[in-house]
């Protein structure tokens, strides 16, 4: 793509023979990786393949057991992240690592504020921050609080902070997982700008489209080992997927019949919500979910999908409408009311609202059953072992070690643990909010397969996903949300991807041209 990315440019980062051992696991096994100035280099692999570990080795979070890291021509061993930053390596993580309660300007310039005679010169701090932001095409009030901006903007602010640090290497770890299409475009524009100015960019994302759109080169890891490094144009997409998971992905195709399954909607629905809403959050809407049915919820980010299902679960209180479970009107003001009625909810925010990081995998899995029983009746060790091994096996949690801390698992495996927690409570209705976000292809397939399987066996599911292919593959019926409002329901049978996108974008606006 760019001349800079050609072979004759010496790499700014050269990692050779990197090996990192964790207790009982070889996280990285003799991996080589090089990054050249002026290229966007994607690091691909399933969860647990070693991407994050490699990044953390480069940024000084983990120390390496063997191998060498050469940055800018000299061998380095970063003891701390500050060392790595001083060497020109900046990282923007999936979860923004800035200070939410400081102003934008303070965040951008933190630690590099210009000083005047009386300490920090705040006026100049803000004007310089504004200059950095403007160079990325961001016209933000630098005195506004960071937390008043969307995650997308916060991410761009984090990037401008990297520029203040004069980064030669910019690492973007899943920067797009919570951005909408327009925001991704804006981000990519900035990435290209930085690339053309000679910054080396290491990009990690689970969205294959985006990887191909932005990358010059792609390096693939699997199980802690290097599979290969390729120019993006030399690596067809199906080959990339095969390299990542090491097996063909045919089994997903068989799932496409799941959405064609005929649902008997004559009986009493498992859940019937009428006029359920909450002022200022989501407008009142209706929804019925029948026995064994998967109802997909589609819509853009912020369209009110999450807000709506949180009301069904009692995670937030509805201020209008009624909810019937199995034909009986029920009060839903706390999650445990929903749980008592056989409803389970897995939040889109795995880390903040799902996993209890410092508890073991086993404790996380039985937490749902335990909470339902109350503290007096402890799940016995024998029962715990049985439940845990049953679900870890059924869902393929890796590593298969129930005594490991859940926080140390990769995202996909954490999601499986959460699924296990809820399935262990044998719910009648399972609400899954973005269960496949930010996880690898293999785990995605595992989770979708499980949902199809369980719903066929009679479980009702509300399935929310930004990946519309998933929704269309699994759901027999799709509810479309827009602008915090339920705008309609569609049968999957007479629906294809383009039709659904068109509906989300244009329904009710008169213009159906696309």
The residues pairing with 512 across neighbouring beta strands, listed in sequence order, are none
326-345: which residues touch another protein (CB under 8 A)? 334-336, 339, 345
- Give which of 240, 203, 237, 235 is closest to 51, Cα–Cα: 203
C-alpha–C-alpha distance, residues 195 and 210, integer Å = 16
Give 264-318 as a DSSP string: --SS--SEEEEEEEETTTEEEEEEEE-TT-EEEEE--TTSSHHHHHHHHHTSS--
State which residue, 315 or 471, has the beta carbon closest to another protein. Answer: 315
CA-wise closest residue to 259 among 498, 474, 490 = 474
Instruction: List the one residue from 421, 450, 482, 484 that touches another protein (CB under 8 A).
Output: 421
CA-angle at 16, arms to 13 and 17, nearest 5°: 150
The DSSP bridge partners found for residue 89 are: 169
**Which has the closest alpha carbon to 414: 386, 431, 429, 434?**
434
Of 342-361, binders to another protein (CB under 8 A) are 345, 347, 352-359
Does position 26 bind another protein by CB under 8 A?
no
Q: Which stretch binds another protein (CB under 8 A): 35-43, 228-236, 317-325, 377-385?
A: 377-385
Q: Is residue 323 near another protein by the rule CB under 8 A?
A: no
* C-alpha closest to that of 162 among 264, 78, 275, 81: 81
Q: Give backbone dihedrals phi and psi of 230, rounded to 5 degrees, phi first.
A: -135, 155
Name the one range near another protein by CB under 8 A: 85-93, 213-221, 371-379, 479-487: 371-379
Kindly write out the interface string for residues 57-96 of this chain, putting x where it contacts another protein by CB under 8 A and - elsewhere.
------xxx---------x-xxx-----------------
Other Cβ atoms closer than 10 A to 263: 17
Residue with Cβ nearer another protein (163 or 461): 461
Rule CB under 8 A: say whether 377 interacts with another protein. yes
Tell me the C-alpha distance between 444 and 433, whole Å: 13
Q: Which of residues 439-478 bind another protein (CB under 8 A)?
A: none
Q: Which is nearer to another protein, 14 or 176 (CB)?
A: 14
- Residue 12 vs 339, nearer CB to another protein: 339
In the block, residue with structure tokens 């690091």: 43
Residue 16 CB, nearest distance to another protein (Å)? 14
Pick 6 or 358: Cβ nearer another protein: 358
179 binds another protein (CB under 8 A): no
Residues 80 and 178: their CA atoms lie apart, in Å, by 28
| In the complex, least distance from residue 185 CB atom to another protein, rounded to whole angstroms | 32
Tokens of 463: 């399935």
| Listed ranges 190-198, 290-298, 375-383, 504-512: which one lies at the site for another protein (CB under 8 A) | 375-383
CA distances (Å), 219 to each of 34, 59, 108, in order?
9, 18, 31
Residue ranges in 31-60 that form contacts with another protein under rule CB under 8 A: none
Most distant CA pair in the chain, distance: 78
Size of the site for another protein (CB under 8 A): 37
**Two tokens at 304?**
């009110």
Task: Please report how close the Cβ of residue 436 comes to another protein at its closest, in angstroms.
Answer: 19
Binding mask 288-307 for another protein (x = CB under 8 A): --------------------
- What is the smallest separation between the CB atom of 61 and another protein, expressed in angstroms? 11
If the CB atoms of residues 126 and 421 are measured against another protein, the closer one turns out to be: 421
* Residue 203, beta-bridge partner list: 42, 172
Residue 193 makes contact with another protein by CB under 8 A: no
CB of 65 to another protein, least distance (A): 7
Using CB under 8 A as the binding rule, whether residue 374 contacts another protein is answered as: yes
> Tell me, what DSSP letter sits at residue 213?
H
Residue 505's DSSP bridge partners are: none
Q: Which is nearer to another protein, 263 or 371 (CB)?
A: 371
- Residue selected from 348, 363, 434, 446 as contacting another protein according to rule CB under 8 A: 363
Q: Is 378 in the site for another protein (CB under 8 A)?
A: yes
Does residue 159 contact residue 81 with C-beta atoms inside 8 Å? no
**Identity of the residue, 198 or 335, whose beta carbon is nearer to another protein in the bound complex:** 335
One of 370, 448, 465, 486 touching another protein (CB under 8 A) = 370
User: How far from the centroid of its chain's Cα atoms is residue 94's Cα?
Assistant: 8
Shortest approach of another protein to residue 90 CB, angstroms? 20
Of 313 and 463, CB closest to another protein: 313
What's the closest the beta carbon of residue 75 comes to another protein, in angstroms? Answer: 7
- Looking up tokens 């715990």 gives 384
What token pair was written down for 441?
A: 């292809």
Tokens linked to 182: 């327009």
CB nearer to another protein: give 300 or 359. 359
Stretch that binds another protein, among 46-54, 121-129, 295-303, 366-374 (CB under 8 A): 366-374
By the 10 Å C-beta count (0-12 exposed, 13-18 middle, 19+ buried), 403 is classed as: exposed
Minimum distance from residue 363 beta carbon to another protein (Å): 6
Residue 24 CA, chain-centre distance (Å), reads 27
- The residues binding another protein (CB under 8 A) are 63-65, 75, 77-79, 313, 315, 334-336, 339, 345, 347, 352-359, 363, 367-368, 370-379, 421
């Amino acid at each position: 793509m760019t001349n800079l990315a050609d072979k004759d440019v010496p790499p700014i980062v050269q990692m050779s023979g990197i090996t990192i051992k964790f207790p009982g696991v070889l996280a990285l096994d003799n991996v080589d990786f090089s990054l050249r100035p002026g290229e966007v280099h994607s690091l691909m692999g399933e969860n647990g393949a070693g991407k994050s570990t490699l990044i953390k080795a480069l940024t000084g979070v983990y120390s390496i057991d063997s191998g060498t890291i050469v940055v800018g021509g000299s061998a380095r061993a970063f003891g701390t992240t500050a060392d790595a930053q001083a060497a020109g390596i900046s990282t923007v993580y999936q979860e923004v690592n800035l200070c939410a309660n400081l102003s934008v300007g303070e965040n951008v310039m933190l630690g590099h504020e210009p000083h005047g005679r009386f300490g920090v010169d705040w006026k100049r701090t803000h004007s310089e921050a504004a200059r950095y932001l403007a160079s990325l095409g961001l016209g933000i009030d630098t005195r506004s609080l960071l937390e008043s901006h969307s995650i997308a903007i916060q991410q761009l602010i984090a990037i401008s902070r990297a520029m203040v640090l004069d980064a030669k290497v910019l690492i973007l770890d899943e920067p797009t997982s919570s951005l909408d299409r327009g925001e991704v475009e804006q981000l990519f524009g900035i990435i290209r700008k930085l690339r053309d100015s000679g910054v080396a960019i290491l990009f990690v994302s689970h969205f294959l489209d985006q990887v191909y759109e932005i990358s010059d080169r792609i390096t693939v890891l699997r199980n802690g080992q290097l599979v290969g490094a390729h120019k993006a144009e030399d690596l067809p997409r199906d080959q990339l997927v095969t390299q990542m998971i090491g097996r063909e992905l045919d089994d997903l195709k068989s799932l496409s019949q799941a959405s064609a399954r005929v649902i008997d909607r004559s009986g009493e629905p498992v859940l019937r919500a009428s006029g359920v809403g909450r002022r200022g959050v989501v407008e009142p809407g209706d929804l019925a979910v029948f026995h064994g049915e998967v109802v997909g919820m589609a819509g853009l980010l912020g369209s009110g999908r999450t807000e709506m299902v949180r009301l069904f679960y009692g995670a937030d209180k509805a201020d209008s409408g009624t909810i019937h479970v199995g034909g009986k009107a029920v009060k839903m003001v706390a999650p445990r009311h929903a749980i008592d009625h056989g409803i389970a909810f897995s939040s889109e925010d795995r880390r903040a609202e799902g996993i209890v990081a410092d508890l073991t995998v086993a404790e996380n899995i039985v937490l749902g059953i335990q909470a339902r029983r109350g503290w007096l009746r402890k799940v016995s060790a024998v029962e715990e072992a049985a439940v845990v091994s049953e679900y870890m096996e059924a869902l393929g949690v890796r590593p298969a070690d129930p005594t490991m801390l859940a926080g140390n698992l990769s995202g996909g495996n954490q999601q499986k643990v959460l699924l296990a927690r809820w399935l262990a409570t044998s719910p009648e209705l399972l609400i899954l909010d973005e269960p496949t976000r930010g996880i690898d292809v293999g785990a995605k397939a595992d989770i979708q397969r499980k949902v199809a399987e369980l719903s066929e066996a009679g479980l009702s599911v509300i399935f929310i996903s930004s990946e519309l292919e998933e929704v269309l593959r699994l759901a027999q019926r799709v509810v479309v949300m827009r602008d915090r409002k339920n705008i309609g329901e569609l049968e999957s049978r007479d629906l294809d991807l383009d039709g659904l996108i068109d509906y989300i974008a244009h329904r009710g606006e008169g213009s159906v041209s696309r």
